[in-house]
Structure 1
């Protein structure tokens, strides 16, 4: 780890399959303190060696894939992380939401329309079962920012409850 007193955020990236290889480029980002890769026991040894050779810290949490709940507990225990901001694609967003691991959702709505049927959603998850209800949100704030972009901040009211 770099300077523990540095207030810049720790970039935490789940990569149990060992696909990300651009760590040297990510380390150049001026708005992060350091990087921590979340791996699982199924992560290839070759990839863990790759990370070691580049002095990239990693944490093994989970068996076939990263155990996100355990990872958050470890981040709190080992690194005193109290707040996590997730900038990701729809799959990780969906997993975290369905697991009840999200307190707030912040969205930027850009005034552009793409269309199509294969574009990823910002929250991807399996369809709801018959006894499940959608996650309820409460709008905390709304702001129009530059270039007609709308910033929305929602608080999660409740998890996805079964009826």
Structure 2
């Protein structure tokens, strides 16, 4: 069975995901209300958040090469990161994030053995799901079966969002709209996917809730018709 999947993003009034003064404190305060079992984050988002380069490591100490016990009573979500190419090498920094209890990396059969060894040496959990790339649908099912994950918040960029939406894996989309106009021509959207060939292929949604927050910021919650 698939868990409930909620895409959650902050944008400007014109739908941009970068270039505006995002209220990060409000963003994470609202995120904590969702009470999910897992947070799904793209590898590019992880690297951007830590200002790290792909395939580059960070300073480590002896503790990074020891197993870490996870308190079964810890109700924080696990962080799930698809990374079949092995780009993220800064797991010691990622582990310091205060709102996660553990990490799970999603790999595929094409993931280099060298990267799997890298994860093993640092006791970073991983699953091999898919062949050339991570099979996200199967991964979500396994999260439910193996880890009891019933709900997932997607905290990522438009590319991962686009794959999830096009594959019909998303139940809700929550958008935090900031009262700023950015403009520009660079791709910056919460939903990036190949252009549609017909208007009939659009995905209908309906508004579940609208909340006006501080400084004229709006939180819109939509359910996706499946």
- Give the TM-score normalised by structure 2: 0.67
1:3-152 alignment to 2 at 5 Å? 3-130=71-198, 132-152=200-220
What is the deviation of 1:128? 1.5
What is the deviation of 1:22? 1.5
Per-residue Cα deviation, 1:95-123 (whole angstroms, up to 9, x for no partner): 11111101100001112222211132110
- Residue in 1 that maps onto 2:47: none
Per-residue Cα deviation, 1:63-87 (whole angstroms, up to 9, x for no partner): 1100001101110111011111101
The count of corresponding residues between Structure 1 and Structure 2 is 158
- Residue in 2 that maps onto 1:161: none
What is the deviation of 1:5? 2.9
* Aligned-CA RMSD value: 1.4
Distance 1:132 1:58 in 2: 38
Secondary structure at the counterpart of residue 84 of structure 1: strand
Secondary structure at the counterpart of residue 93 of structure 1: helix
More helix by share: 2
Distance 2:83 2:171 in 1: 23
Distance 2:110 2:200 in 1: 31
Q: For the structure 1 residues 147 and 21, does the alpha-carbon distance in structure 2 shift closer, same or farther, using more than 3 Å as the test? A: farther
Distance 1:51 1:131 in 2: 44
Runs of 4+, deviation exceeding 3 Å: none
- Give the TM-score normalised by structure 1: 0.91
Structure 1: state its 5+ residue gaps.
159-163
